[in-house]
Structure 1
Amino acid sequence: MTDILHIDASARPHSSAENPFGSHSRRLTERFTRRWREAHAQDASIVYRDVGQHPPQPVTGGWIHAAFTKPEQRLPWMTETLAESDALVDELLDADIIVAGVPMYNFAAPAQFKAWIDNIVRVGRTFGFDRSRTGDPYWPLLADTGKTLVILSSRGDHGYGRGGRIEVLNHVEASVATAFNYIGITDIRSVAVEFDEFADARLRASIEKAEMEVDALVATLISERRQRSAA
C-alpha cells in the first residue's frame, strides 16, 4: 500500500480542467492522483488536505512556547494549541508520497502553504534539537524514511525553470525543498505550468507538456516503488 498525502494550496477553488478561471496546480495534482489510481488502484490510500481554502492557523508566540516545551511538561492549553499541528504532522508521517500543488504567488509559495510548512517543521517530531549535542544541534528525523515530495506548480510568466531567463526569481521549489530537506525528505520531483498570464497557445502547450510530465512521473514513481519492494 502506498499512502499519498494530496495537498492543494491554490486560492482558486477549482481546477482549470473544469473551469476557465480555475487553478493549474489543482489540475496537475488531481491528474497525478487520478493517474496513480488508474495505474495502481489497489495500492493507493489518499488523504486530501486543501490548505488553499482552509489554511492552518499561523504560528504564534504561544505556539512556539508550546512546541519548545517538552511534551511531558506541557500545560493543557499547550496541547490544545498544538492540536492542529499534530494532526498535520501525523498526516505527513503516514505518507509515502506528498503531492503538493504549490502555485507561484509573487515569486514564492502562497502564504497558506507556508503556514502548513510552519506547522509541520516541528521540534521533536520532524527535526531534533539538542543544544548540548556536539557539532550541529539540529538533525532531521525523517531521513531514510523513503518519502517522496512531488511539487506541482504554476507560474504566470515563463522562464522560471532550471536555466531559464528568470530562474533567479523562482523561490517556490527551492524554498519548499529547503524546508523538506531540513526534516530529512530529500527525494523531490517537480513539474510546472507556465504562461498563465498570457492565456494563449503558449499556455495550452505548457499545460499539455506538464500533464505529459505528470503522467511520466507517476509511471516512474510506481516503477521505482515496485523495484524497491522486490529488492
Structure 2
Amino acid sequence: MTHSILHIDTSIKPEGSMSKTLTRDIVARLQGAHPDSSVTYRDLAAHPLPETDAAWIAAISVPAEDRSPEQADIAALSDRLIEEVRNADTIVIGLPVYNFNIPSQLKVWLDLLARPGEAFRYTEEGPEGLIKGPRAIIAYASNGTRIGSDIDFASTYMRHILGFFGITDVQFVASDHFAIDADSSVKAANDDIAGLAA
C-alpha cells in the first residue's frame, strides 16, 4: 500500500531555511523506507492561504447542500485541506519559531482545519478529535528558543492543537540553538532524524 506523506513548509525564507532543510531530509528518510510513497506538498509562505473571516464562518456553518455558490467556493479550500490531512499516513510540518511561537502562515492552515464536525466535536465527555489516523513529524527550527523551555510556546501549541484534532502521534526533530552553536544544533536535529522510525 502506498504511504501518503503530507509535506508542509512555513518558513518565510526563500533560501537558507533550516526548517525547510529538515522537512526535506525527513521526507527523504520516509521515502527511502517507503519507495512507493506519494507526497503532497504545500509551501504556505510562498503560496499563502486566505485567513478565516466572517464569510468563512458563514460558509462552514451551513450544511453543504444549503450553501450559496460563493459559500461553496469558500468552504471548498477548507474541505480540501482537511482531506489532505485525513488521507495522510504521515504529516511533516516545518516549524520555524518566530518570536517564541508558530508562524502566522501555519496558524492560518490550522484555523482552516479547525472545523467542528470535521476535525473535532464536543461530547458530554469533552472534545473529541475526528482525525485519528495520521502521524505527525514536526521540524522545529529556532536560533535560540529551546524546545520544551519556558519560552517555547510553539511546540506545546502544535502538540495540543494536533491532539485536539485527534493526531496524538506527534514527534519533533529540533535544531533549536542555531545562533548559539550551529554545528551542535544541526547535529542534534540530524540525530533526531536518524532516530525516527520510518
Q: Provide Cα deviations, 1:188-222, integer angstroms capped at 9, x if missing partner.
A: 00011122334xxx2122102211211221xx1x3
Q: CA deviation at 1:135?
A: 4.8
The answer for the alignment partner of 2:23 in structure 1 is 29
AA matched with 1:208: K
Write the distance in 1 (CA, Å) between the matches of 2:112 and 2:54. Answer: 13
The answer for the alignment partner of 1:150 in structure 2 is 137
AA matched with 1:148: R
Moved segments of 4+, more than 3 Å? 133-136
- Do the aligned residues in 2 keep the contact of 1:67 with 1:123 (CA within 8 Å)? no
The answer for the alignment partner of 1:173 in structure 2 is 155
Gaps of 5+ in 2: none
What does 1:2-21 align with in structure 2 at a 5 Å threshold? 2-14=3-15
Q: Provide Cα deviations, 1:29-80, integer angstroms capped at 9, x if missing partner.
A: 00011122223313x1111111121121100011011112122222221111
Residue 122 (str. 1) matches residue 115 (str. 2): yes
Gaps of 5+ in 1: 15-21, 223-231
- Do the aligned residues in 2 keep the contact of 1:107 with 1:170 (CA within 8 Å)? yes
Write the distance in 2 (CA, Å) between the matches of 1:134 and 1:196. Answer: 45
Give 2:172's match in structure 1, choosing from 190, 193, 198. 190
Q: Provide Cα deviations, 1:146-169, integer angstroms capped at 9, x if missing partner.
A: x111110111115x233xxxx111
Q: Find the structure with the greater CA-based Rg.
A: 1
- Do the aligned residues in 2 keep the contact of 1:194 with 1:203 (CA within 8 Å)? no
CA RMSD across the alignment: 1.6
In the superposition, the TM-score normalised over structure 1's length comes to 0.80
In the superposition, the TM-score normalised over structure 2's length comes to 0.92
The answer for the alignment partner of 1:70 in structure 2 is 63
The answer for the alignment partner of 1:140 in structure 2 is 129
Write the distance in 2 (CA, Å) between the matches of 1:53 and 1:105. Answer: 17
